[in-house]
Chains A and B, each alone.
Chain A
């Protein structure tokens, strides 16, 4: 009995200590972005121009009160700005850094720290996300004002919308982290990252609403975790997903978050066995 309770106490201590560790890692990640504001602003500009192009395009299409797949101009604006914000989250710092460190062998120093590799990367991702979300919301707010405002959903929809928006983080992390691990095999990440960004942007509905895609593609995006990475919170915001459908969609986001976490962990088990660090 005594041994057991000692074990339990030790486990409790181990649980508390890491939480502080991960919180500190998140804070450090945030600070490291603040250290290079210029490069961040350029990245943001690049994606902001993409969003601007979509806004101009849809303004032309929906001129004179037209609508497409249930969107009028006002709601399309809102949809595009929400997907702009969710698309800015987990934009590439996490996997870029992972790939660089795996390739250079610096991952060795990550592995002599008493923290879980995946949780540590997630903590950093959260730190980055605070900065990414902050700046993207600021840019989106400016754009909203410049384009004549966007409709705001009723107060009762906000809870589900915020939850759905928050779930974008673990979903995108799952994909970004797993693709970063591919570096253990390929040793090169440029192609993998480009493919990952193209796939996620397209299938998450960040480019065009998924309703515009052929049925089979839309279904694929819906069944796989992609819709939850941008489309779901945006559709909840504009009121296209309500009631039971909205709850189901958000529950799917949550389920996929857990599933991706577990899958990524299994993937790590295999990837880490590929590790070869020569010299030094």
Chain B
């Protein structure tokens, strides 16, 4: 059935897993043999998703929030317990093979390379699986090589690769067939800074080329680098869906300035001059921290409020980051409103 509203469209998407409920120790295991008890765990709970072609969306949530389960349903690996999914008009788990031709998937914690074969052989096997002609394959490999630097990896057995090399090779394996939709599930997990940068540059490159990217990650630097839209899920439920910049403007307004002063910090007098801000002492009595709403106060006015009270040796400013919002959501401090496409205010 063709039904294309958005490229990726999920309504009431739900996955319930049944888990054995075993007591502790051998006794619990034995008891389970005669009296089988199970608990139901709702991993994904009535999620609505709508992603247009060419969008780059960050799918964020704490461990166990249901991110990977969602991706596995969107890719056709898992069958939803409830709800509908259409990816490019197809139901992924029913038309798994057809869907697989369209998509590229990277699971950061798993490799899709053949362990005992050189990387090139894995890529050639994928060429045959996707029915690519040799010339299209060569062109695609050349393109990937330019961004990922593959030439020195191609002849190496997958099991001999370092984690960073493996991730580069895995990205190539996931994208060799030039899919129009790419799911990146924790693509930077465990990688060092330089490889992370490379992976992010590659993801930006994909987005720039018009590929639709859904990125799940724990590393919030990934998000700001790559995506404009963010979807936060928590405990299987949608906590936020909207523009990255607006969520920052709405929920990450607090900016803080750290002052190193020559003498003891005048908390009371600065506080009196800046009633809208929170003024506290830092690690020592000569350090002053002013936390303020960046839309209510400017850094200049904060600076002016501190200068009359002492000699400033050093100033640093912490800009708000999406990380702060997400941390608050994870910690349960913030319940974001449901909104589609724009931030709740």
Contact = CB atoms under 8 A, between A and B. Distances in A.
A17 B128 CA distance: 7
B77 A111 contact: yes
Contacts of A112: 75-77, 100, 103, 105, 112
A24 interface: yes
B116 A36 contact: yes
Contact of A108 (B77, B116, B130): B77
A63 interface: no
B33 to A, nearest CB: 13
B124 interface: yes
Interface string A1-35: 00000000000011011101101110010011001
A277 B72 contact: yes
A216 B17 CA distance: 44
Contacts of A106: 110
Interface residues of A, number: 33
A21 to B, nearest CB: 4
Given A20-B128, A108-B72, A114-B130, A28 B117 contact: yes
Interface string B98-115: 101101010111111011
A24 B68 contact: no
A116 B97 contact: yes
B131 interface: yes
A58 B101 CA distance: 56
Report, as a range, how many residues of chain B touch the other chain.
35 or more
A181 B51 CA distance: 35
B293 interface: no
Interface in A87-112: 105-106, 108-109, 111-112
A280 B101 contact: no
B121 interface: yes
Given A21-B131, A28-B125, A280-B185, 12 more contacts: A21-B130, A24-B128, A28-B117, A31-B117, A108-B110, A111-B75, A112-B77, A114-B130, A115-B129, A273-B79, A280-B68, A280-B186
Interface of A: 13-14, 16-18, 20-21, 23-25, 28, 31-32, 35-36, 105-106, 108-109, 111-116, 272-273, 275-280
30 contacts: A14-B131, A20-B131, A21-B128, A24-B125, A24-B128, A24-B129, A28-B114, A28-B117, A31-B121, A32-B117, A35-B116, A106-B110, A108-B72, A108-B107, A109-B110, A111-B75, A111-B76, A111-B77, A111-B100, A112-B75, A112-B76, A112-B77, A112-B105, A113-B126, A114-B97, A114-B101, A115-B97, A277-B68, A280-B68, A280-B107
